[in-house]
């Protein structure tokens, strides 16, 4: 018996094994619409409350068992009661929507902290070594790096090759002190990297990630990132070195052009050059 052909969308999902991703998307959609249904339920409750109150009031008025004054008092009290419930519901919905953000903030606040070094580097970087470095993100996971030792030559272009998840990006994050090794040591000019002042070390290194993060701000502010006392000539010079100056001039407002969230209006190469 011949099977019916799958719809293109479903076929595409199966080709690229995106069932889990789509399941999450559907779950997200259901969650959003569930909130909509809750809002509708609240509105129905308000309408039903008002309708029942008016019907009861009309009944008692015709029976002569209620005065107009009592009706006005009850009606105002009912409106205040409904308004209170509505405010409580809105507060609950607002808190629920912010819970994921609070969880992310809490995970950062509960993260590891390290003491800042005090050593200032008066000399140029001459040697950079990793000695028996191990790293894992938490105690429950396996080591991403296992007793890694290497000398990184200064003034040379070094390529670190490996499969996905082998720790290439982790090495870069360790060198910029975004993380610190579980065990082992990183040395700069024979001194422990962790004895060096973090701000001093940060002023001596630069990193361009595969997917750089750009802010919804001007091109100039994304390049300077808070650096002061930088002249326009210096800004133009570094952009010329990065081969991005001519493109920036073609933008509507040049260096004052606002780029979208994460630099969405730019190509991948342009984002990397600005970063």
DSSP 147-159: EEEEEE-TTS---
| Angle CA 129–210–24, to nearest 5 | 120
Which has more pLDDT, 107 or 270?
A: 270
187: three-class secondary structure by DSSP: strand
Average pLDDT score over the chain: 72
Residue 80 predicted with pLDDT over 80: no
Angle at 108 between CA 107 and CA 109, to 5 degrees: 95
Question: Any idea what the Cα angle at residue 211 is, between residues 202 and 269, rounded to 5°?
Answer: 105
Separation between Cα atoms, residue 163 and residue 144, nearest integer Å:
12
Q: What is the mean pLDDT of residues 164-181?
A: 81
Contact between residue 234 and residue 175 where contact means Cβ atoms under 8 Å apart? no
The phi and psi torsions of 247 (rounded to 5 degrees) equal -65, -40
Q: Can you tell me whether residue 162 is helix, strand or coil?
A: coil
pLDDT category, 7, cuts 50, 70, 90?
Answer: very low
Structure tokens at 251: 């933008």
Distant-in-sequence, close-in-space partners of 199: CB < 8 Å, separation ≥ 6 = none
Tell me: pLDDT of 4 over 70: no
Is the predicted pLDDT of residue 188 greater than 80, yes or no? yes
Interval 59-70 mean pLDDT: 71
Mean of the pLDDT values across residues 193-199?
A: 80
Task: Quote the percentage of the chain above a pLDDT of 70.
Answer: 68
Task: Look at residues 178, 177, 179 and name the one whose alpha carbon lies nearest to residue 188.
Answer: 177
The pTM for the full model equals: 0.51
Instruction: Determine the Cα angle at 96 with ends 91 and 101, to 5°.
Output: 120
């Amino acid at each position: 018996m011949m099977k019916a052909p799958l719809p293109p969308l479903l076929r595409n999902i199966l080709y690229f094994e995106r069932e889990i991703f789509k399941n999450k998307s559907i779950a997200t959609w259901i969650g959003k619409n569930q909130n909509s249904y809750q809002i509708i339920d609240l509105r129905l409750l308000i309408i039903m409350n008002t309708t029942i109150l008016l019907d009861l009031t009309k009944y008692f008025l015709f029976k002569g068992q209620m005065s107009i004054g009592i009706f006005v008092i009850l009606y105002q009290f009912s409106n205040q009661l409904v308004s209170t419930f509505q405010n409580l519901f809105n507060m609950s919905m607002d808190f629920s929507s912010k819970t994921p953000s609070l969880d992310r903030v809490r995970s950062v606040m509960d993260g590891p902290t390290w003491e800042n070094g005090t050593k200032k580097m008066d000399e140029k970087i001459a040697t950079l070594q990793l000695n028996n470095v191990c790293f894992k993100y938490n105690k429950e996971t396996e080591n991403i790096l296992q007793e890694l030792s290497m000398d990184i030559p200064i003034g040379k272009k070094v390529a670190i090759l490996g499969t996905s998840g082998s720790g290439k990006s982790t090495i870069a994050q360790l060198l910029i002190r975004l993380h610190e090794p579980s065990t082992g040591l990183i040395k700069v000019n024979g001194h422990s990297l962790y004895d060096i002042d973090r701000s001093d070390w940060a002023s001596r290194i630069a990193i361009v990630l595969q997917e750089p993060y750009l802010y919804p701000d001007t091109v100039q502010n994304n390049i300077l990132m808070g650096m002061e006392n930088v002249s326009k000539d210096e800004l133009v010079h570094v952009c010329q070195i990065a081969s991005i100056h001519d493109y920036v001039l073609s933008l509507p407002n040049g260096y004052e052009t606002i780029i979208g969230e994460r630099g969405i209006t730019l190509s991948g190469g342009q984002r990397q050059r600005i970063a």
